[in-house]
Amino acid sequence: MLEWFPRDLLETLMKPLRSLGLCLLMLMLLLSMLSCTRSTAPPIRVASNLWPGYEPLYLAEELGFWNGDQVRMQELASATEVIRAYRNQSVNAACLTLDEAMGLIRTEPDSRIILIMDFSSGGDAIIAQPGFSSFRDLAGKRIGLEQTALGTFFLSRALEKHGMSMEQVELHAKEFNYHEELFRKQLVDAVVTFEPVRSQLLAAGGVELFSSREIPNEIIDVLVVREELLEQNPEAVEALLHGWFLALDCIHQQPDRALLYLGPRLELESIEELRALYRLATLPSFEEVFALMEDPESSLLPISRKLAGIMKSNGLLDAEPDYNKLFDARALTRLDQAP
């Protein structure tokens, strides 16, 4: 069709088009290379059950204290399910008690504790049916509990404090989300539980026979992550921790704003109820957590060794964890050094 067109003029006209095509090809190759080198690290998937000491994470998510592509929360019905999800690798971070964390890390040695979340100071309790007046009244009675390390550990410490043993009670293993039903249907004489179920059972006439106030610093909640997160996605880990401490500030400095989000989750109606609830779980500040994590030998490791000893004697732990790798303060150190 273009045979009649002068060849030299045709070549002259085509040169710019060839140059444009080459530029477009080079641009496509460059974009392809950039997409291949861009970080594709998946978000941190954090699992927890319902407990006031974990709620600042959900508050941080609601208030947008981190990017949704960096951190995603997942609430599960019980600590048992949280541990199962972590083992199955459907999540790569878990909120657990220290004793549960040590049991998990024994079988998942690539895991590290990167945050002390709270110290239970009354939020964990043993609630008995109306009519019970002393702990020793539970001899020969049915006690419901979640058969995790925490449930068994807590009951064993209560029994020890009152000169009793596991053989003197009848255990009924049920996950946390069934505790209120067990109690209200009188299928058990007492239940080992924690907030918010603790308050609900007390309001229904239950009697508190033992609480974590009687074993201070023994029930500690921590955040466990896989070590690969610290190496492959440190920015997301730092965003997670930064959001946590921003949420703590919100609870203390703007309780009305915090109540707007936490109230429906924890069934709270007033700031006074919110403050009362958080008196049952001590949430340490960044400075306090950093001091603990930077020098774990001063207090965290002695507590951990004591817990491990009790757990071993009760058949809850086959061997002690590697204490040199139990706590990892790298992310907190980077957060401390951030401008």
**pTM for the predicted model, two decimal places:** 0.82
Write down the CATH superfamily of domain 44-121+219-337.
Periplasmic binding protein-like II (3.40.190.10)
pLDDT value, residue 15:
55
Residue 6, pLDDT score: 54
Same CATH fold, 127-214 and 44-121+219-337?
yes
- Looking at the predicted structure, is the pLDDT value of residue 17 above 90? no
Domain ranges of the chain: 44-121+219-337, 127-214
Three-state DSSP at 171 gives: strand
Please state, rounded to an integer, the average pLDDT across all residues of the chain. 88
- With 50 as the cut, is the pLDDT of residue 26 above it? no
User: Would the pLDDT of 38 be above 80?
Assistant: no
Res 27: pLDDT:
43
| Per-residue pLDDT, 193 | 92
Is residue 95 a contact partner of residue 83, using CB atoms and an 8 Å limit?
no
Least confident residue range of 52-61, 168-177, 236-245, 258-267: 168-177
pLDDT score of 224: 98
The predicted structure's pLDDT at residue 170? 96
Residue closest to 220 by CA, chosen among 306, 292, 116: 116
Q: Which residue has the higher pLDDT, 242 or 337?
A: 242
pLDDT digits (tens, 9 = 90+) for 129-157: 999 999 999 999 999 998 778 888 899 99
Segment 56-77 mean pLDDT: 95
Rounded CA separation 281/272 (Å): 15
Q: Is 55 left (phi over 0), alpha (psi -120 to 50) or beta?
A: alpha
What integer pLDDT is reported at residue 215 of this predicted model?
Answer: 93
CA geometry: angle 78, 82, 88, nearest 5 deg:
140
Average pLDDT (229-233) is 92
Residue 257, pLDDT score? 96
Average pLDDT over residues 100-104: 93
Amino acid making up residue 292: L
Range ranked top by mean pLDDT from 28-32, 98-102, 315-319: 98-102
Q: What pLDDT shows up at residue 150?
A: 85
Alpha helical stretches, state H, the chain: 7-37, 55-62, 79-87, 98-107, 149-161, 179-184, 197-203, 227-232, 234-253, 255-266, 271-278, 286-294, 300-313, 330-337
User: What is the predicted pLDDT for the residue at 12?
Assistant: 54
Determine contact, residues 78/194, Cβ cutoff 8 Å.
Answer: no
Mean of the pLDDT values across residues 257-267? 94
The CA-based dihedral angle spanning residues 102, 105, 106, 108, taken in that order and rounded to the nearest 10 degrees: 160
Res. 25 pLDDT band, cuts 50 70 90: very low
How much is the pLDDT for 10? Answer: 43
**Helices (H), ranges, 42-178:** 55-62, 79-87, 98-107, 149-161
Please give the CATH architecture assigned to the domain spanning 127-214: 3-Layer(aba) Sandwich (3.40)
